[in-house]
Structure 1
């Protein structure tokens, strides 16, 4: 289906074209025709990041009478950031609607300025509950004649304690209006609002109720309570290109963890309610520009994060309300991209994992915190790839003779080892003899049919995100190439230019034979066994093809086409290899 088939008027289709939207998302496809054709109450259950703003935004704009300056629609959202995001998106959707005014009202800004904007004529008001209630009390806004009321992220507004505010606000609206409620989950409080203020609403569900997005892989790591922060750092080190939100339960923990990460050399920042609005804006702007790779946030503050390419969500602590996990994991795997939601838990919290699985209707994969030597290996690959991809600065030409004099007498192989040792030694010294952080899990069996690590083999493959793969598409590629079942390929970890995956040991001959002199679009795709950390000696495999930066090194780092550089194998990163 296309946007042309949804019933939108031409001015909105022109805006759709300008925005580059091609096909509607599922929630848009289901909601827009209903909202355009019917004057009724409406409930939509859909995950964060599925395009809900456009789902209610386009029909709302089309129904507004731009000839009247009366406020005709109210959109309530839980946070200032989300309020501004909705208002900005609505303005983009309505760029060809002459005479349409959309005003955002929220705390932290001049209430008198906002009142003046409304007085000049605002057909659509986007508001946070607290500021809207305050303006109603001061008679700065009149919503007694609105035709439409949209409750966006309804479950989150109620989780934040806005139940009474919403009831008070809705009591100032006419009974004849249409109420549209959008929510990721349907807890009891949302049902109460629906029953009290809505009449026979039409309901649609995108996916199962409260279910998590199918583009997100859910993982959990069992550690001791004192090792939680050390585990967080290793997970960050295990993913060199990480761009993540780290969730903590309290504002105090959020600030403390962010400060510790910064002290330890990570590009981190904090986002929570105790920060001033200016501080929060600075943090969000830095995050959007990827100057911050790890944004440590509370659940409330994170509602304003409108970034589509977040690679990981890390649950440093599980939320008190299990339904909140759905919102957290929904920050990644957005706009059709894949993502990973990681949970750091102690053994006593394992029962919560089962509860979450039941609510989101998806299984978790139990994974191991990477060892120190595995992190060193991944960082070494990451450094090699960065060197390979670095654009040469021509200004260095004038310095080359002097540099050549300094390096005189060092042969090529020794020079390579020295270059890589500059960074590798720092990581190796940090992680050498690092303890095992993994706590023995008491959970019976592994989810998704995962084979215990003792009976599995870990492989290195020289393709990654730069080749267009994520954990889902790489798993599909391997399954189709090897003609194996879905659960026969597991623990797929994609990095920038390389990846790792596991199979049961019985499939090793098939894997190595299949990927001998194997090409995709004329390029060799190499797969090698990445041994466990305890096994330092590597075995060479016939048929391999040396490829600097991804494979083809001896144990001591020298270049040798028939030797294997890999020492261990997972994925890792600590600040140092850039």
Structure 2
């Protein structure tokens, strides 16, 4: 078995490793560290989240830099502020016995002048997000012309967020003969492209198989009607009383909405997404690390900086747009040799995505049922019993026992147990005694994949010729109507018109919004359709959605302008007018646009 000493690390780093309690290197550390320590070479390392990648590039970079020089010698690019700060803190901890070491983090949301002052003091290693790094290079606040080592950490996520051009610009200011180390959890074609563009005959290290999920994580999915998604989430939380979880949503708006609903319903929950200030994000993460928050609702981008052990569950409230992102999500649990569970709440139309993910991660999902109300009551009762059993007696209570005994002397032991447990049981029983069964089968016609009596289908006179595809039209409708992610569905785009569905309860809202609605001077009408939507869907029109992709700022013929936010998501700003009525601009739609079916 390898040891950190056998990898060739020096005494200063070994002492820090001992202080941190690390005993044996992880597989990615064991494979990558000797290569980059012994050679001046480029490296591509593929390993899942939570496998120790920061140490795999951090230890050798620290050992190779010259502490007597104040020149910047190492650059580490990471996708988010949280991950940037996390890497910086870990490098400082690894180098605690290296006199003169200066590691500086550069990221948006903080004073650029203060960061420039830290750089001027002499930083051998800079850890940066691409956006802020490009900005500071453009202002000539940073000189990376003499760096010897460059790390692209979470490369797949940086590219997915649209940072390819920023990375290209940044690296154009660096020496061609530097060593570039690319670390990634997955290897989509974009990562292969960047490796080919910026690297010279790189060594490759793969831990497990490419894009394969962790062995320590089990995968489950729960099939429900999309409108029951939140109720399903609550039941999964109640059925796991000791849950310490990250819940993933696709958009910032849904993330905030779900967190607020959980808090209102009495759960210890919080949200983290790109619309929060840095101070707000820091407060949320501090509460999560100290377990004041048990359920952290997050977007994929914001969650990249979450490095918290002992997360018991990852819950996919919504599946990601990019299937590869599922690997990153599930990697938040099952860390440091412990086991974890990745749960997915899906509607009928999403089951096919589960099959695609299974092929990608080479793991099978177990289809499980959302627990019944009585099963949850039972679970909570036994959890309470175990909590009482494990509670240490506080003997400060002894002085009060005579009076307590006097109050309870008329009750037998059995009666006292019933009274104690009734407090918890009654609360859950009253809530769940009339709870419906949330589970549906893949062939259940009440699922969203088929028409149901509670659904209304609409005709709308815009389509592919207006540069809409199914996803852009769905986001347009959802934000205009201010409905949830799953409240607009079965979107079917034709050339000059389209169809979509909502639950019947939203019928009055839809008709009123489009009663007198214009989009850049054109009347947009919506009518309730007799088309059931059971016929095959068409991609319709094939019109390209201008400005989509990597934070584009273009304008579509559909009449709303797209603009990027600080995390590469997009917000639609409607140019359309509804006479006599006003509608506030809504939150981000998030994610890449991809053609397909709703």
Give TM-score scaled by structure 1 length: 0.76
Match of 2:503 in 1: none
Q: Could you say what secondary structure the match of 2:116 adopts? A: helix
- The whole-number CA distance in structure 2 between the counterparts of 1:74 and 1:154 is 14
Q: For residue 402 of structure 1, report the CA deviation from its aligned partner.
A: 2.5
Matched, 1:78 2:79: yes
Q: Give the alignment of 1:444-483 within 5 angstroms.
A: none
Q: For residue 216 of structure 1, report the CA deviation from its aligned partner.
A: 0.3
Q: For residue 386 of structure 1, report the CA deviation from its aligned partner.
A: 1.2
- The whole-number CA distance in structure 1 between the counterparts of 2:412 and 2:5 is 65
Matched, 1:147 2:131: no
Match of 1:355 in 2: 356
Q: For residue 6 of structure 1, report the CA deviation from its aligned partner.
A: 0.4
Q: For residue 149 of structure 1, report the CA deviation from its aligned partner.
A: 0.5
Q: Give the alignment of 1:327-342 within 5 angstroms.
A: 327-342=328-343
Match of 1:44 in 2: 45
Match of 1:24 in 2: 25
Q: For residue 266 of structure 1, report the CA deviation from its aligned partner.
A: 0.4
- The whole-number CA distance in structure 1 between the counterparts of 2:399 and 2:92 is 52
- The whole-number CA distance in structure 2 between the counterparts of 1:21 and 1:387 is 35
Q: Could you say what secondary structure the match of 2:319 adopts? A: coil
Q: Could you say what secondary structure the match of 2:5 adopts? A: helix
Match of 2:268 in 1: 267
Match of 1:127 in 2: 128
Match of 1:248 in 2: 249
Q: Give the alignment of 1:141-180 within 5 angstroms.
A: 141-180=142-181
- The whole-number CA distance in structure 2 between the counterparts of 1:235 and 1:121 is 51
Match of 1:294 in 2: 295
Match of 1:109 in 2: 110
- The whole-number CA distance in structure 2 between the counterparts of 1:100 and 1:376 is 56
Of stretches 397-406 and 224-233 in structure 1, the one that deviates more from structure 2 is 397-406
Q: Could you say what secondary structure the match of 1:3 adopts? A: coil
After superposition, give the CA deviation of every residue in 1:238-285 in whole Å (9 maximum; x if it has no partner).
Answer: 111100000000000000000000010100000011111111111000
Match of 1:63 in 2: 64
Of stretches 71-80 and 91-100 in structure 1, the one that deviates more from structure 2 is 91-100
- The whole-number CA distance in structure 2 between the counterparts of 1:311 and 1:412 is 35
Q: Could you say what secondary structure the match of 1:340 adopts? A: strand
Q: Give the alignment of 1:404-423 within 5 angstroms.
A: 404-423=405-424
Match of 2:240 in 1: 239
Q: For residue 80 of structure 1, report the CA deviation from its aligned partner.
A: 0.8
Q: Give the alignment of 1:183-262 within 5 angstroms.
A: 183-262=184-263
After superposition, give the CA deviation of every residue in 1:170-204 in whole Å (9 maximum; x if it has no partner).
Answer: 11111111100000001121111111111111111
Match of 1:530 in 2: none
- The whole-number CA distance in structure 1 between the counterparts of 2:357 and 2:345 is 14
Q: For residue 65 of structure 1, report the CA deviation from its aligned partner.
A: 1.1
Unaligned runs of 5+ in 2: 445-598
- The whole-number CA distance in structure 2 between the counterparts of 1:199 and 1:442 is 52
- The whole-number CA distance in structure 1 between the counterparts of 2:253 and 2:24 is 43
Q: For residue 66 of structure 1, report the CA deviation from its aligned partner.
A: 1.2
- The whole-number CA distance in structure 2 between the counterparts of 1:395 and 1:96 is 46
- The whole-number CA distance in structure 1 between the counterparts of 2:333 and 2:128 is 25
Q: Does the C-alpha gap of structure 1 residues 418 and 75 become closer, same or farther in structure 2, counting only changes over 3 Å?
A: same
Q: For residue 112 of structure 1, report the CA deviation from its aligned partner.
A: 1.1
Match of 1:504 in 2: none
- The whole-number CA distance in structure 1 between the counterparts of 2:18 and 2:387 is 37
After superposition, give the CA deviation of every residue in 1:507-565 in whole Å (9 maximum; x if it has no partner).
Answer: xxxxxxxxxxxxxxxxxxxxxxxxxxxxxxxxxxxxxxxxxxxxxxxxxxxxxxxxxxx
- The whole-number CA distance in structure 2 between the counterparts of 1:268 and 1:245 is 10
- The whole-number CA distance in structure 2 between the counterparts of 1:398 and 1:377 is 34
Q: For residue 406 of structure 1, report the CA deviation from its aligned partner.
A: 2.2
Q: Could you say what secondary structure the match of 2:165 adopts? A: helix
Q: Give the alignment of 1:282-431 within 5 angstroms.
A: 282-431=283-432
Of stretches 11-20 and 236-245 in structure 1, the one that deviates more from structure 2 is 11-20
- The whole-number CA distance in structure 2 between the counterparts of 1:56 and 1:318 is 31
Q: Could you say what secondary structure the match of 1:385 adopts? A: helix
Q: Could you say what secondary structure the match of 2:426 adopts? A: helix
Q: Give the alignment of 1:457-536 within 5 angstroms.
A: none
Match of 2:8 in 1: 7
After superposition, give the CA deviation of every residue in 1:336-392 in whole Å (9 maximum; x if it has no partner).
Answer: 111000000011101000100111111111111111110010100011111112222
Q: Could you say what secondary structure the match of 1:125 adopts? A: strand
Q: For residue 4 of structure 1, report the CA deviation from its aligned partner.
A: 1.3
- The whole-number CA distance in structure 2 between the counterparts of 1:396 and 1:197 is 68
Q: Could you say what secondary structure the match of 2:396 adopts? A: helix
Unaligned runs of 5+ in 1: 444-578
Give TM-score scaled by structure 2 length: 0.73
Q: For residue 397 of structure 1, report the CA deviation from its aligned partner.
A: 2.4
- The whole-number CA distance in structure 2 between the counterparts of 1:99 and 1:429 is 63
Match of 2:513 in 1: none
Match of 1:453 in 2: none
Of stretches 433-442 and 18-27 in structure 1, the one that deviates more from structure 2 is 433-442
Q: Could you say what secondary structure the match of 2:227 adopts? A: helix
After superposition, give the CA deviation of every residue in 1:463-509 in whole Å (9 maximum; x if it has no partner).
Answer: xxxxxxxxxxxxxxxxxxxxxxxxxxxxxxxxxxxxxxxxxxxxxxx
- The whole-number CA distance in structure 1 between the counterparts of 2:422 and 2:387 is 15
Aligned length: 443
Q: Could you say what secondary structure the match of 1:62 adopts? A: helix
Of stretches 90-99 and 330-339 in structure 1, the one that deviates more from structure 2 is 90-99
After superposition, give the CA deviation of every residue in 1:438-474 in whole Å (9 maximum; x if it has no partner).
Answer: 111359xxxxxxxxxxxxxxxxxxxxxxxxxxxxxxx
Q: For residue 429 of structure 1, report the CA deviation from its aligned partner.
A: 1.2
Of stretches 304-313 and 392-401 in structure 1, the one that deviates more from structure 2 is 392-401
Q: Give the alignment of 1:555-570 within 5 angstroms.
A: none
Of stretches 112-121 and 240-249 in structure 1, the one that deviates more from structure 2 is 112-121
- The whole-number CA distance in structure 1 between the counterparts of 2:108 and 2:278 is 9
Q: Could you say what secondary structure the match of 1:181 adopts? A: strand
Match of 1:118 in 2: 119
- The whole-number CA distance in structure 2 between the counterparts of 1:126 and 1:16 is 21
- The whole-number CA distance in structure 2 between the counterparts of 1:35 and 1:5 is 14
Q: Could you say what secondary structure the match of 2:284 adopts? A: helix
